[in-house]
Structure 1
């Protein structure tokens, strides 16, 4: 099946990293016919990823933690295309420390980048989608860390759990508007964010991680992107307030 999001307008945040989940999502949406805006605080990275994707991909400088930044980006998209059909809240960081080393500054930064940015994005997107009156799809990238407890992920897990439940509550508010809100929960995915876990012995660490996963391997960004594509498309027209775990069975144990 091709053209699954043909003619739709999408914004993917945190899409400027090489080999990241955001880049993979933007590419899949573009391949299936959407005009895709790639937002990132790293404007050069967003432009570069958009250029790599080609034709219907546009890079934007976008600080997802800034209220004014969201207003500017949505105004730009509406001015260009007249509407926003798909928002993927993907921007995030993982700040992992033992509890005694988790300063208030670090904790606040974790919540700000992962959860506050998603709140700002959902609020801005809902207003834009309601004004257009065509419904829409919001997909929040959470994590298995937002479902189960993992060592040193207390702040990260709190931010991702917040995104998960916030989205569920918002889905109840927007269902009658035809605006669907769902979350995707990646497990161990091979990206720049998980690269530090592979040091100092990459192969030994890779095997240790794989041993935690029933499918015995780390996931690929494209496998997250395929799930997001489904939720963004009309194939998921009766799905809202749901969570989709893409973790090779890790949390089913």
Structure 2
């Protein structure tokens, strides 16, 4: 890539916003992705991600900020899933599948009912990091601060719940509370990442960096840091590829992640 072309690209505000968004979402994805993978919540996070489309459709229908609608829907879904899975673990897959489909269906119906809507829904399905707004960046910044603050304060409790919930319960730690907290943080991270990679690909951004980090880390805190660095590498590389070759940024980011995972696995073997 020509250095002059790269410097010219960096002079554009939308490219600067995209880079800033990439850094911010990588931090959240690395930390929350580690918790999602360690607690084996990937499928649950996927259900939350697709359910949030209902909030996007509702926001478009009511004319309210899309981020607000998606966040509200995602958090409510996370709380509902946490409640259900705590009391009825025999049908978790069926419940998540139902919420997955219901959220998508509700979103589609609300969009269909909205007269003359002109929102680019593809950017929410597959991501468009170049189109992030100042509002999106502020959301990601607040999310990063919240995630870092909560994980720092409750690190020992989260660690105990993630690796041995029975031991944590015996130590008097509220497993239900921290389980719900992890799902709510995952929901917020999903909403933030939708603008970057889209809700279809958001789970890949949460899981691939952590899968890679597991090769190099034996502690949860180290895994979070390495995972964030991998996520940052994926987002920046994918952004540059999408800019220079005029292809989808979300897909580019995930392809870089998958290729990196494949290379690391081959080298490790």
| TM-score computed with the length of structure 1 as normaliser | 0.26
Higher RCO (C-alpha under 8 Å, 6+ residues apart): 2
- Report which of the two structures shows the higher radius of gyration computed on alpha carbons: 2
* Bigger proportion of residues as helix: 2
Higher normalized strand content (fraction of residues): 1
TM-score by length of 2: 0.25
